[in-house]
Amino acid sequence: MNSDGSGIGINYGLLGDNLPPPDQVTTLLKSRNISQIRIFSPDHNVLNALQNSGIQVIIGTFNQEVGTLAGDINFAKAWVQTNIVPYVQTIKFRCISIGNEVIPGDMNSLVFPAMQNMNAALQFFSLFQIPVSTTVGINALASSSPPSTGDFSGDVKPAIEQIACFLANNGFPLLITAYPYFSYIHEPSLIQLPFVLFTSPDIVVRDGNLGYKNMFDAMVDAVYSALEKVGASGVEVVICESGWPSQGNGDFTTTELAQTYNQNLLNHVRGSGTPKKPDKNVETYVFALFNENQKDPGVEQHFGLFNPDMTEVYHVDF
């Protein structure tokens, strides 16, 4: 089973020692009309629980597997045989992500050959319908404001050029993590909070004929501009992570701010595209499903919409 993906989903991380069993999580997701998720690794307990649920899945490889995937087609075949083939009739796979934010980093050059081998492994098993991509941090952009100046930094551009060509030739999306929260807390005196929370009534950033009322759209369009500069204007941008922590950094992190950001984010991507691509809704995955107590102390433990006991940290309508 496969699907093209549209609309909204959530990230389901497992870095907690008190998280509910995956079958209960699947029930929770369905009860909240969440039909798309992203998982960071091929956890078979999670995959077993997702079978025949109708929930569409972005599945990731471990970052430490990227080098092996890049150098060994047989490892890629074994990965597909173990983690995809048993589930392909019962789970809708949106795509496979080669690692998480490996780019930018010291393994930039390994991602593309790993993607090639994973794609070849899927084809070996006649699974032509499952896209292969990678998850790139928004900090891979050297320039992003105004959005038309969006450009990948020099150290990642050689790798991105190969990846973007591959994605364009195959009709596969590029996965991007984008957090207006982190931009805002670094320059709160320069960035207007309404611009970050989707509550500005007026255009804040002008870019030629285009006007931006929120930072999320500006980030997405900066990536589209950067893709154009590497000859891949047709590649779809999927925001596979965006969110706001509910505590851990004083007044910047309250349940009210987190709820406002995430609800307005979902309302926005449900209802419209970006100024650059107004007719294309941005497929977006909120980060994250649960507060995870084995992540780094501070805000990283507080991105969840739900507590580990499955009560709400705050309410968001999907």
Whether residue 241 lies in the annotated active site: yes
Phi/psi of residue 42, nearest 5 degrees: -85, 70
| Host H or E run for residue 211 | strand 210-212
Q: Using CA atoms, how far apart are residues 109 and 156, in angstroms rounded to an integer?
A: 8
Q: Considering 65, 161, 187, 241, which one is annotated as catalytic? A: 241
Contact (Cβ atoms closer than 8 angstroms) between residue 14 and residue 300:
no
Per-residue b/e over 287-317, b at no fewer than 16 CB within 10 Å? bbbbbbeebeeebebbbbbbeeeeeebbebe
Strand partners, 9: 285
Q: Considering 101, 236, 283, 292, which one is annotated as catalytic? A: 101
In the numeric block, which tokens belong to residue 160? 């991105």
| Host H or E run for residue 207 | strand 205-207
User: Nearest-5° angle of CA 61, CA 62, CA 66?
Assistant: 80
Per-residue b/e over 123-159, b at no fewer than 16 CB within 10 Å? eeeebeebbbbbbbbbbbbbbbbbbbebbbeeebbeb
Q: Which residues are catalytic?
A: 101, 241
